[in-house]
């Protein structure tokens, strides 16, 4: 939509307009859910399991209940409700057994935080500790204890495939072509396995919910959440309430990254409020609880087997994803599914067999996390392509370029790529160019000489489509104030990504109003904002952007209709500017928007029209369900392609390394706001660097989380920035996106890790197959360089060599098999 | 026990329990919720305030310790509703996303610029090392600080490459 | 939040000694709070009384005199140490160890004395104090005693301090003035982190000393080495003094390896 407007004619879209909500954030006046207090509010605390797997033999709450100032104590047995976005497998408080370290087994609401904590300490829980299943590959064995023995009886959304009697709540499949035939025709077959651990989102504001369950089951929820309607709808599903009984309000949100995409603390807090006679109750997770009571990102083992023709064309991919989703299915089953239709990367591959397993283990569970599986699997995928390139003797850049999707290609689900899908080739070439891939500059050579360290360069591509239902929809309402300014209501939640500003710019552009006349609501209220599915998936700019533009069109149409009456003409005679609507051929005859805004009054007192309110709605167009056996169909609203180039300096003796440069390129279709896109590009890249270099959950053999705080769960600081950062946007217009735009919220985080791994390989020959890449990991990989012959399962019948011009850059630095 | 202190130039006198941290005191007793709790353990810097002229993690300070002290919080940064130079620079450079780290970050930057009016990039990184930001990746914050201190901001901008009209053939 | 306790802020040394004498068993001393408050919140410290040292006037400041040397008192923060002219001119190794300790905000509160009485094996200040031959001046109502830092640490988070004692002064002998040295600290990120291993190397009057942290139950001192000793001898001495463990941060093998790497680098770097 509007993608063919000459950029020279755009005044607001394409500028680095100031963020609409920045002032209250700068002054401390902005209220987050964690700042809220209400009259009569009680404070909640949670009793958590110290065991990864145990039967609950009994819970004694008598002493806690007797403590003065305690207003409600809850245990699992009192609550007969089941939760679950896709597979309904979770209780509000553990019932009968605990399934992960840190799981909530009881909760208290009291007059003060101190009393609540003292009461929690007085609750006595008797456990029978059981042996947990911690490794997801062990959980697949036939003798593994079942985390959910009752899986076969759980309700679930039919698009998923829970495997009864196992630890597998979902298996998603893609079948394209014939992989066995593809392998048979391949000159080379290369197979290896890659892993990465769980990590936490680490929003700076931990999860928090404030709920009041009033008389008549009228419920108000204030929460730090990404998706107010999902909170409301899942809440009502769980408690069997009509939707209009529950109001969800989301004030300022201190970061989400997917961890706040669904429903988390709200049901528990609501039950405490109800038990406390309807007093408001607030529960704020401590940082330690954020790491264990709240969910994380699933871990992954990714087995990849690639068949390649003599000329370097990939003929077959057999891909198996084993997702360690922890104790509950939550979003993880959908991460599994979304990764399945994307898991071969932005490459044109004729034969694909992909199996993606969600696996239960006794650990904190995996939820949505920026990238929705893609950060995890692109690690393996892009590291694997590097290995394949090495095996066949082809330059890794040329190898990728040869196989990238281009107009006319079919994705692994059978979708046709067009010349407006986006351009992975341009992205990869730009990333490679930005780091002078394939050679060292004079400065870099001099730096190597001076420091004695090795400089290496690596590239990796990425792509992602929004993982969302085929019928995902949203709406926008634009209401005019009596001074001619407007307020835009959308439920797409501002969580720091800049969505409110993008909506303002789109509305302002479409209305032709100055930015100062367009207000976008920041606090979201399910009673006031029109429906939006969720603030996830990088789909906001397209769906909400389009709905906003359409709402503006609707407002203008109504205004024109009223103006035509006021000016005694036809609407076709009219045009407008930021202040008024006027007759095109008699410009002095006009009526201001202010005059029309809430109804127009003629000089004699007659009135026409009324309050001007524009409504726009947009639903994803043309998406289809995927075949359950083959995964074929059209799941993608859009594809955002991209690439990273990394330059790294490595001490080949110790494994210490430093990132010199990261260049990131994304095809965003149209840059609505350059500095906001840049903020996403850099912020996401740094978060990707964190997951690549230092983040990861560490457990002991009993399933205790050993690093539940910042002491040992590190995230990047300002000093962890690369020496140089470059951010590049490509604009291949998304025809059905507003002004040609498509989303980029998640993408900057994807493929940073493999680009780094590939750069370290280039520098030193160290092969890393596990994230994070700590200095010690590089050191170990340097010492135990495994020969690549181990991963070649088919000996080439002839030698495979590409064009000499596209060889590995310097023969003396090529790694010997 | 009773404490007397000034916060953002205003005098306060309050009764506090010994175990109350300065962070909780500011937020709960004085209603100054601009200062945030990110970890409660002195790691993340979201709770940074300026205590007797020095930037500190207020979650690590007891209210009992600040009797007779002067505290500056984010609420004192803007004067009479007008944003300070630092705040305006943060705005201009898109150094704010979710905003939760912003209060502490601005306090650390304020403290840095008092000590070092023209810090270079390394000194800025050193100055905000103790303030986690999960959203921005720090780069635009660094640029805001360079600007706020009257220094050139450098090349960092989003480069927009024109599309080359769809994919190309690499046979 | 923190568990509940009583707070005392004695104004004089005598009052503080009296409080320690009466309540030492259930009391904790509060200086910068950056360790104690963390422990109060985690419940790993459960004192009934917290005694603030900062109101005692005699417990403030760094001073230097040619007879004793450098005197560091309980309220002296890391940043105060780093800014001190005498420290930078005469005992730069102290500044070397302090400058990468935690974050700037922490260094505005964390005290030098607090860092060592905590007796964490990861202490950043201990390596410098060990190399410089610093002495711990310990006081209580019962009197004063002085012991070298090489005898101050007894085990993980354990010092020689009795329940009624406090570390009142750190004294770095004037004889160590002008010692050259540097500190290498292995971290998991470039940003603030505790040391995975830490090696301080000091050269003075033909002697070489090493102070090594995060490689044994306590920070360790390696003495008896001379400038001109070959690298292998210095490395062997370091290896012999350490007994690192594998934990969530690092493996034993990599710690041993990196201690050796740091020793070799510092031998070349410290002139």
pLDDT tens for residues B26-74? 999 999 999 999 999 999 999 999 999 999 999 999 999 999 999 999 9
Q: Are residues A265 and A355 in the same domain?
A: no
Which tens digit of pLDDT belongs to each residue from A147-191?
999 999 999 999 899 999 999 999 999 999 999 999 999 999 999
Range of the domain at A337: 299-468+624-813
Do A604 and A632 sit in the same domain of this protein? no
For an interface test with C, the pick among A50, A653, A775, A777 (most C C-beta atoms closer than 10 Å) comes out as A775
Do residues C121 and C95 both lie within one domain?
yes
Instruction: Give the ipTM.
Output: 0.96
Q: Do C109 and B126 touch (CB under 8 A)?
A: no
The domain boundary, picked from A619, A641, A660, lies at A619
β-pairing, A218-223 vs B10-15, is: unpaired
In a domain, A713, yes or no: yes
Q: Which residue of B has its CA nearest to A14?
A: B160
In this structure, how many other beta carbons lie within 10 angstroms of the beta carbon of residue A437?
A: 23
Write the residue in B41, B96, B165 that is nearest to A287 by C-beta: B41
- In angstroms, the CA C248 to CA C256 distance is 16
Chains with at least 3 CB pairs less than 8 angstroms from chain A: B, C
Using CA atoms in the order B32, B38, B40, B42, what is the torsion angle rounded to 10 degrees?
-100
Residue A445 to residues A319, A448, A514, Cα–Cα distance (Å) = 39, 5, 52
What is the count of residue pairs from A and C with beta carbons less than 8 Å apart? Answer: 46
Q: Distances in Å between the alpha carbon of C229 and those of C208, C225, C233, C236?
A: 9, 7, 7, 11
**B-proximal residues of A, 233-272, CB under 8 Å:** 252-257
When CB atoms are compared, the residue of A114, A698, A718 closest to C248 is A698
> What pLDDT, on a 0 to 100 scale, did the predictor assign at position B167?
38
- Give the CATH number of the domain where residue A680 resides: 3.30.365.10
Q: Is residue A396 part of a domain?
A: yes
- How many alpha carbons fall within 13 Å on the CB side of residue A356? 32
- If we measure between CA atoms, which residue out of A252, A335, A258, A337 comes closest to residue A294? A258
CB-closest option in C188, C250, C257 to A714 = C188
- State how far the alpha carbon of A401 is from the alpha carbons of A316, A422, A680, A806, B85, in Å: 17, 15, 26, 11, 47
Q: Which residues pair with C146 in a beta bridge?
A: C137
End position of a domain, from candidates A619, A643, A659:
A619
Rounded to whole angstroms, what are the CA distances from A48 to A100, A116, A120, A591, A706? 10, 14, 9, 65, 15
| pLDDT tens column, A276-294 | 999 999 999 999 999 999 9
- Give the lowest-confidence range in A312-316, A531-535, B166-170: B166-170
Relative to beta strand B70-72, strand B2-7 is parallel
Q: Do A231 and A99 sit in the same domain of this protein? A: yes
Q: Are A507 and A376 within one domain?
A: no
Flag whether A237 is in a domain.
yes
pLDDT at B168: 36
User: A600 has which bridge partners?
Assistant: A608
Task: Tell whether A159 is covered by a domain.
Answer: no
Q: Which of A604, A619, A634 is the last residue of a domain?
A: A619
Does A140 fall in a domain? no
Q: What is the pLDDT of residues A217-229, one digit of tens each?
A: 999 999 999 999 9
Q: A396-403 vs A374-392: helix axis angle to the nearest 10? A: 110
Domain match, A680 and A751 both = yes
Token code pair at residue A628:
């359950």
Q: What CATH number should be reported for the domain holding residue A230?
A: 3.90.1170.50
Q: Which chains touch C (3 or more CB pairs under 8 A)?
A: A, B
Both A266 and A377 in a single domain? no
| Pair (C106, C73) in one structural domain | yes
Residues 6+ apart with CB under 8 A from C176: C69, C91, C132, C133, C134, C204
Contact call for residues A355 and A279 (beta carbons, < 8 A): no
CA quadruple A125, A127, A131, A134: dihedral, nearest 10: -10
Q: Beta-strand (E) ranges in A309-404?
A: 314-326, 351-360
Q: Which of A673, A654, A674, A681 is nearest to A747 (CA)?
A: A681
C-alpha span between A439 and A668 (Å, rounded):
29
Nearest Cα residue in chain B from A202? B134
Q: Is residue A199 part of a domain?
A: no
Q: Report the residue from A405, A718, A733 with minimal CB separation from B167.
A: A405
Nearest to B121 by CA among B74, B83, B154: B154
Q: What are the pLDDT digits (tens) for C215-265?
A: 999 999 999 999 999 999 999 999 999 999 999 999 999 999 999 999 999
Q: Are residues A243 and A316 in the same domain?
A: no
Q: Which of B16, B55, B62, B116 to mutate to test the interface with C (most CBs of C within 10 A)?
A: B62
The pLDDT score that the predictor gives to residue B155 is 73
Write the CATH number for C222.
3.30.390.50
C87 and C166: one domain? Answer: yes
* Arithmetic mean of pLDDT, A572-579: 97
Determine, yes or no, domain membership for A444: yes
Q: 10 Å Cβ neighbour count for B51?
A: 23
Contacts of B161 in chain A (CB under 8 A): 426, 430, 665, 728-731
CA distance A678 to chain B (A): 6
Residue range A742-767, pLDDT digits in tens: 999 999 999 999 999 999 999 999 99
Count of structural domains, chain A: 3
- C202 and C234 fall within a common domain: yes
Instruction: Give the C-alpha separation, A636 to A622, whole Å.
Output: 9
* Tally of residues, chain A: 817
* Residue A341: band (very low, low, confident or very high) from pLDDT cuts 50, 70, 90: confident
Give the C-alpha separation, A93 to A168, whole Å: 22
A610 and A641 share a domain? no
Nearest neighbour of A113 by CB, restricted to C1, C189, C257: C1
The CA distance from A441 to A424, in Å, is 26
A672-688 pLDDT tens trace: 999 999 999 999 999 99
Domain-ending residue, one of C52, C69, C89: C52
Residue C47, domain member (yes or no): yes
Query: Does C37 contact B1 at a Cβ distance shorter than 8 Å?
Result: no
Closest-CA residue of chain A to B98 = A496
- Residue-level pLDDT at A796: 53
What pLDDT was estimated at residue A795?
Answer: 55
Task: Give the C-alpha separation, A576 to A196, whole Å.
Answer: 56
Domain final residue, candidates C127, C147, C176: C176
Inform me whether the pLDDT recorded for A806 exceeds 50.
no
Residue A686 to residues A345, A367, A514, A753, B137: CA-CA distances in angstroms? Answer: 22, 21, 34, 10, 5
Do residues A497 and A580 share a domain? yes
pLDDT at C205: 94
Residue C1 is assigned to a structural domain of this protein: no
Positions in chain C whose pLDDT score sits under 70: none
Clarify whether residues A246 and A359 are in a common domain.
no
pLDDT value, residue A800:
39
Active site residues of A: 746
For B117-157, where are the alpha helices, taking DSSP H only?
121-127, 139-148
In this predicted structure, the answer to whether residue A797 has a pLDDT above a threshold of 50 is no
> What class is the B2-76 domain?
alpha beta
pLDDT at residue A419, as a whole number: 94
What top-level class would CATH report for the domain B85-148?
mainly alpha
Q: Which chain A residues in 386-405 lie under 8 Å from chain B, judged by CB atoms?
A: 398, 401-402, 404-405
Q: What residues are paired with B57 via a beta bridge?
A: B48
Query: What residue numbers bound the domain in which C100 lies?
Result: 59-176
Cβ–Cβ of C54/B48 closer than 8 Å?
A: no
Strand boundaries in A577-693, DSSP class E:
580-583, 586-592, 598-601, 607-611, 613-619, 640-650, 657-667
Tokens for A572, please give them.
């076709």
Question: If you search the block for the tokens 């008389």, which residue do you land on?
Answer: A215
> What was the pLDDT predicted at A792?
63
| Interchain CB distance below 8 Å, A714 and C257 | no
Domain boundaries, chain B: 2-76, 85-148
Q: Do C251 and A113 touch (CB under 8 A)?
A: no
Report, as an integer, the average pLDDT of A563-588: 97
The total domain count for chain C is 3
pLDDT mean across residues, chain B: 94
Mean pLDDT for all residues in chain A: 95
- A573 has pLDDT over 70: yes
- Residue A721 within a domain: yes
**Section A509-535 average pLDDT:** 98
Out of C176, C204, C222, a domain closes at C176
Identify the contact set of chain A against chain C, taking CB-CB distances under 8 A. Answer: 113-114, 117, 653-654, 658, 693-694, 698, 706-707, 711-712, 714, 716-720, 774-776, 779
Maximal CA-CA distance, chain B: 80
CATH of the domain at C37: 3.30.43.10
On whether both C20 and C125 belong to a single domain, the answer is: no
Asked if the Cβ–Cβ distance from B41 to C41 is below 8 Å, we say yes
Residues A123 and A241 in one domain: yes
Residue C126, domain CATH: 3.30.465.10
């Amino acid at each position: 939509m509007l993608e063919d407007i000459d950029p020279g004619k755009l005044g607001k879209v394409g500028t680095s307009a100031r963020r609409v909500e920045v002032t209250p954030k700068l002054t401390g006046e902005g209220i987050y859910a964690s700042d809220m207090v209400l009259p009569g509010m009680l404070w909640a605390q949670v009793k958590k399991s110290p065991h990864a797997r145990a039967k609950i033999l009994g819970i004694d709450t008598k002493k806690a209940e007797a403590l003065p100032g305690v207003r409600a104590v809850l245990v699992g047995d009192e609550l007969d409700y089941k939760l679950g976005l896709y597979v309904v497998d979770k209780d509000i408080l553990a019932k009968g057994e605990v399934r992960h370290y840190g799981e909530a087994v009881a909760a208290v609401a009291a007059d003060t935080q101190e009393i609540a904590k003292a009461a929690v300490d007085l609750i006595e829980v008797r456990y029978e500790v059981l042996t947990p299943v911690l490794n997801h590959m062990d959980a697949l064995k036939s003798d593994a204890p079942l985390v959910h023995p009752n899986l076969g009886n759980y309700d679930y959304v039919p698009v998923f495939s829970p495997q009864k009697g196992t630890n597998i709540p979902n298996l998603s499949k893609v079948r394209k072509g014939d992989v066995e035939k593809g392998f048979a025709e391949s000159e080379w077959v290369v197979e290896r396995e890659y892993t990465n651990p769980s990590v936490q989102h680490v929003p700076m504001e931990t999860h928090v919910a404030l709920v009041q369950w009033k008389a008549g089951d009228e419920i108000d929820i204030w929460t730090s959440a990404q998706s107010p309607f999902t909170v409301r709808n899942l809440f009502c599903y769980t408690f069997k309430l009509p939707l209009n009984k529950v109001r969800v309000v989301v004030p300022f949100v201190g970061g989400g990254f997917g961890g706040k995409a669904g429903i988390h603390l709200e049901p528990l807090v609501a039950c405490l409020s109800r038990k406390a006679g309807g007093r408001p109750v607030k529960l704020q997770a401590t940082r330690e609880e954020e790491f264990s009571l709240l969910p994380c990102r699933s871990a992954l083992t990714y087995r990849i087997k690639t068949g390649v023709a003599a000329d370097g064309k990939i003929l077959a991919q057999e891909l198996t994803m084993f997702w360690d989703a922890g104790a509950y299915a939550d979003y993880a089953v959908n991460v599994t599914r979304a990764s399945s239709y994307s898991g071969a990367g932005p490459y044109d591959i004729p034969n694909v067999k992909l199996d993606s397993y969600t696996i239960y283990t006794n650990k904190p569970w995996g939820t949505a996390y920026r990238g929705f599986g893609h950060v995890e699997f692109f690690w393996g995928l892009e590291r694997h392509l590097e290995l394949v390139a090495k095996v066949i003797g082809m330059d890794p850049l040329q190898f990728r370029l040869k196989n990238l999707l281009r107009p006319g290609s079919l994705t692994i689900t059978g979708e046709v790529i067009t010349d407006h899908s986006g351009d992975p080739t341009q992205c990869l070439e730009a990333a490679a160019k930005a780091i002078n891939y394939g050679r060292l500059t004079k400065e870099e050579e001099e730096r190597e000489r001076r420091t004695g360290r090795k400089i290496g360069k690596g590239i990796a591509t990425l792509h992602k489509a929004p993982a969302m239902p085929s019928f995902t929809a949203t709406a926008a309402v634009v209401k005019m104030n009596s001074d001619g300014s407007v307020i835009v209501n959308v439920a797409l939640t501002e969580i720091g990504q800049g969505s409110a500003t993008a909506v303002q710019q789109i509305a302002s552009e479409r209305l032709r109003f100055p930015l100062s006349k367009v207000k976008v609501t920041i606090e979201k209220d399910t009673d006031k904002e029109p429906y939006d599915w969720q603030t996830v998936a990088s789909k906001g700019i397209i769906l909400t952007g389009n709905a906003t533009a359409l709402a503006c069109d609707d407002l203008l149409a109504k205004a024109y209709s009223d103006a035509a009456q006021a000016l005694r003409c036809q609407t076709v005679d009219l045009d407008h500017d930021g202040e008024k609507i006027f007759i095109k051929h008699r410009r002095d005859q006009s009526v201001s928007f202010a005059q029309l805004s809430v109804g127009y009054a003629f000089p004699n007192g007659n009135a026409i029209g009324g309050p001007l309110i524009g409504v726009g709605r947009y639903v994803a167009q043309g998406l289809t369900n995927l075949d359950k056996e083959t995964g074929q169909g059209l799941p993608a609203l859009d594809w955002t392609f991209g690439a990273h180039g990394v330059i790294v300096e490595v001490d080949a003796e110790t494994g210490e390394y430093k990132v010199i440069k990261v260049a990131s390129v994304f095809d965003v279709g149209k840059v609505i706001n350059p500095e906001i896109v840049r903020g996403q590009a850099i912020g996401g890249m740094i978060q990707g660097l964190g997951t690549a270099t230092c983040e990861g959950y560490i457990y002991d053999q009993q399933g205790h989380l050993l690093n539940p705080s910042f002491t040992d769960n590190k995230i990047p600081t300002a000093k962890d920035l690369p020496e140089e950062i470059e951010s590049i946007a490509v604009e291949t217009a998304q025809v059905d996106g507003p002004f040609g735009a498509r989303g980029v919220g998640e993408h900057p985080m994807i493929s940073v890790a493999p680009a780094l791994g590939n750069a370290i390989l280039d520098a030193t020959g160290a092969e890393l197959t596990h994230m994070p890449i700590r200095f010690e990991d590089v050191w170990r990989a340097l010492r135990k360089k495994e020969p690549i012959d181990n991963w070649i399962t088919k000996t080439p019948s002839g030698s495979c060599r590409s064009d000499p011009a596209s060889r590995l850059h310097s023969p003396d630095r090529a790694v010997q098999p | 026990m009773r404490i007397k202190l000034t916060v953002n130039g205003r005098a306060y006198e309050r009764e506090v329990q010994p175990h109350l941290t300065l962070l909780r005191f500011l937020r709960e007793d004085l209603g100054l919720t601009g200062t945030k709790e990110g970890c409660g353990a002195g790691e993340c810097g979201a709770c940074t305030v300026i205590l007797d002229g020095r930037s500190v993690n207020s979650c690590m300070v007891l209210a009992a310790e600040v009797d007779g002290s002067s505290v500056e919080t984010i609420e004192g940064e803007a004067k009479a509703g007008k944003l300070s130079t630092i705040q305006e620079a943060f705005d201009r450079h898109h150094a704010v996303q979710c905003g939760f780290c912003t209060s502490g970050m601005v306090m650390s930057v304020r403290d840095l610029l008092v000590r070092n009016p023209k810090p270079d990039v390394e000194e800025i990184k050193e100055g905000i090392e103790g303030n986690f930001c999960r959203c921005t990746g720090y780069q635009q914050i660094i640029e805001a600080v360079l600007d706020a201190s009257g220094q050139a901001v450098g090349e960092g901008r989003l480069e927009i490459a024109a599309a080359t009209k769809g994919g190309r053939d690499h046979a | 939040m923190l568990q509940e306790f009583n707070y005392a802020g004695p104004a004089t040394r005598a009052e503080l000694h009296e409080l320690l004498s009466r309540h030492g068993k259930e009391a904790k001393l509060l200086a910068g709070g950056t360790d104690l408050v963390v422990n109060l919140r985690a419940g790993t410290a459960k004192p009934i009384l917290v005694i603030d040292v900062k109101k005692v006037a005699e417990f403030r400041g760094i001073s230097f005199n040619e007879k004793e040397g450098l005197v560091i008192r309980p309220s002296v923060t890391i940043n105060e140490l780093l800014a001190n002219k005498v420290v930078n001119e005469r005992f730069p190794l102290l500044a070397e160890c302090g400058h990468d300790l935690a974050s700037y905000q922490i260094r505005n509160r964390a005290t030098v004395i607090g860092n060592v009485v905590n007796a964490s094996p990861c202490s950043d200040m201990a390596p410098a104090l060990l190399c410089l031959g610093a002495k711990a001046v310990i006081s209580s109502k019962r009197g004063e005693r002085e012991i070298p830092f090489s005898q101050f640490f007894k085990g993980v988070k354990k010092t020689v301090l009795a329940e009624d004692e406090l570390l009142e002064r750190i004294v770095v002998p004037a004889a160590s003035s002008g010692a050259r040295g540097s500190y290498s600290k292995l971290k998991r990120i470039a940003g603030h982190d505790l040391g995975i291993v830490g090696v301080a190397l000091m050269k003075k009057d033909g002697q070489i000393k090493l102070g090594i942290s995060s490689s044994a139950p306590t920070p360790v001192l390696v003495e008896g080495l001379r400038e001109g000793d070959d690298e292998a001898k210095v490395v062997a001495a370091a290896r012999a003094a350490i007994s690192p463990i594998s934990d969530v941060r690092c493996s034993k093998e990599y710690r041993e390896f990196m201690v050796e790497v740091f020793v070799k680098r510092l031998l070349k770097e410290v002139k």
